[in-house]
Structure formats: C-alpha cells, structure tokens
Amino acid sequence: MAQPHQITAPSDAALIAAWQSGDERAAAELVGRHARPLARYLSGAGAPDAEVDDLVQETFIRAFRAVDRFRGQCQFRTWLLTIGGNVLKDYGRRAGRRKWMPLDESARDASGDPHERAVASEAEARLAAGVKTLPRLQREVFLLRAQQGLEYEEIAAALATTPGAARVHYHHAVRRLKEILT
Amino acid sequence: MNDAKNGDARLEALAKRLGASAAERLDVEATARKVLAGLREQPSSRRTWIEVHWLRIAAAIVLLIGGGIAVRRIVPVGSGTAQHSHLVADDLGDLSADELKDVLDQFDEIVGSASLMLDSTDLRELDAQQLRAVLRSLEG
C-alpha cells in the first residue's frame, strides 16, 4: 500500500535562498509566514494602528534588500523583528513631536463578559502605554520575550548582547510595567 | 511569592494580547503584493546614495587635478612649492576668454588621452590600482 505523500513546508532558510535566486513566490511566502507576528510586535512597540500596514511593508522591503547580511545568527523572524524595531524608530523620528494615536479600542475582541472585557481593555491600554515609556532595549527585550515568547539566547543573538544582559533588561522592564499596572 | 508569580503571569498574558487586533486586521496577501511591488520599483536608496556620491567625488577629483594641469600648461605659474597650494579657481579667474578656451581644450585632451583608455570608461568599475593610474596620468 502506498504511503500518503507527505508535503513539508520549505524552511525559512530555503525560502531565503530561493528569494536570493530571484524567486518572488519565496518572498511572498516569507511575508505570509511572518507578517502578522511582525504587525503584533510593531503595534505592541507603539506603532499607530493606521501606520502598521506601511511599517510592516517597509520592514519586509528593508529586510529583503539586506538579506545577504543575515547569517542565521538567529531565526529569520527574530531578525525581522529587530529590523521592524529600527523601522519604527525611524518612523518615530520622522513623526517628530507628533503624538501617536492610542490603540483602537473599537477593534478589540468584543467576546466574553463585558465587565472583564472592560477591565482587560483598561489593563491592556495601560500596559501598551507603559511599554512605550520603556527605554528602547528594555522595550524590545520585553516584547521579544513576553509577546513573542523567545528565549534569552535568541533575543541576545538578535540584539547583539548577552543572554544575561537580556535577562536583566527584561526584569527591569517587568518591574517598571508592574508599577504602572498596580 | 505567589503574588509576584501571579503578577508576572498576568503581565505576560496581557503582553501576548498586545497588538493582536492590528495583526488580525492586516491583509497579508495585499501586504505581500505591495512588498513585491516595492522591491521591483524602489531603487535601493543606499546604493543610489553611494553611486551618486562616488560619482561626485570622482568628478571633483578629475576637475581639480585635470583643471590644475591644464592651467599650468597654458599659464606657467612659477617654480617652487608655492604652485601646489594654488587654487585652480584662482588661476581660472585670471584668464582671458581665449585662455579659458585653451584650458578647456587641454582639459578635454587630457581626459580623452590614450593614457586614460582603460578597459572600462566607467569610473565606478575601476579598482584602486586603476584609479591610481588615472590620477597619475592626470598629474602629467
């Protein structure tokens, strides 16, 4: 009896190599895999909702153009997120003193108990505001760890620091955010 | 101790929700199309910047050295080290219209001379050794 044909998705590394050979479908596949986590990261780091689409696109364009410099020191997604951090920083410079719009409350999940939802929304909004006040490295480490679920070793490789330093940044960020939330 | 753990867990749970709505709203297929269109259309700004500045630098070197040589051939500027500190623009400012025309002819001759004819006429494609050869030939 013939075995069912097992189709395994190509790895990010294989897609990167295909893109470097000019395969646009490989680039589109990479966008499909990583666009939403990148949007979450950018939004969590303070990107205005109206700008997230453009910032995601800019991050991918910058990443694909610089992909020759990606040496596999960390996962492609982690590398992409750090580029997103730079894109957001540049956006912040361009925006100058213009105040960023708060998160769009109407677009949040509307399921569950209304009271719990209101409490959660408030806490989330306070956390989002608190994350924006963190120093950049603390903010990036916090999001990579708490939001994206990455290990300290992976974070350290992406941010060119040590796992110990990443851990310290994370704990400083957590302490500060807890103060904001209580 | 439990309070601290609960606080950490609550914080992490909240952090995981951050940006979730923005991610849900993102049209991934449209994003992919726009990214590919951007990659096709936009020139690499860094590459453009380097090319433009390299050409400007190369042009400035050629004009300064070539212009200086051309002026010296037309208008002798005395001997000694003083001539090296002479600004080309100062010399050019003192020339008559006919002398200026001679300078431009000389300059064209220098730039178009056989000594500069390398495999490539594009300065960007020359390596350091070839560039040094170009500069030496311009020194006369």
Residue A100 has pLDDT above 60, yes or no: no
Whole-angstrom distance, CA of residue B46 vs CA of residue A76:
22
Would you say the pTM of this structure is higher than 0.80? no
Contact B18 A40 (CB under 8 A): yes
Answer whether A63 touches B (CB < 8 Å).
no
pLDDT at B66: 72
- Give chain B as a DSSP string: -HHHHHHHHHHHHHHHHTTHHHHHH--HHHHHHHHHHHHHHS--HHHHHHHHHHHHHHHHHHHHHHHHHHHHHHS---SSGGGGG--HHHHHHT--HHHHHHHHHHHHHHHTSGGG--S-S-GGG--HHHHHHHHHHHT-
Please check the confidence at residue B54 and state whether its pLDDT lies above 90.
Answer: no
Quick check: A24 pLDDT over 60? Answer: yes
Q: Provide ipTM, 2 decimals.
A: 0.78
CB contact under 8 A, A60 and B17: no
Is it the case that residue B26 has pLDDT exceeding 60? Answer: yes
B31 closest CB neighbour out of A24, A35, A49: A35
**pLDDT > 90: what percent of chain A?**
69
- Identity of the residue in B11, B31, B36 whose CB atom sits nearest the CB atom of A146: B11
The pLDDT of residue B100 is above 70: no
The shortest C-alpha distance from A1 to chain B (Å) reads 39
When pLDDT is cut at 50, 70 and 90, the band that residue A41 belongs to is very high
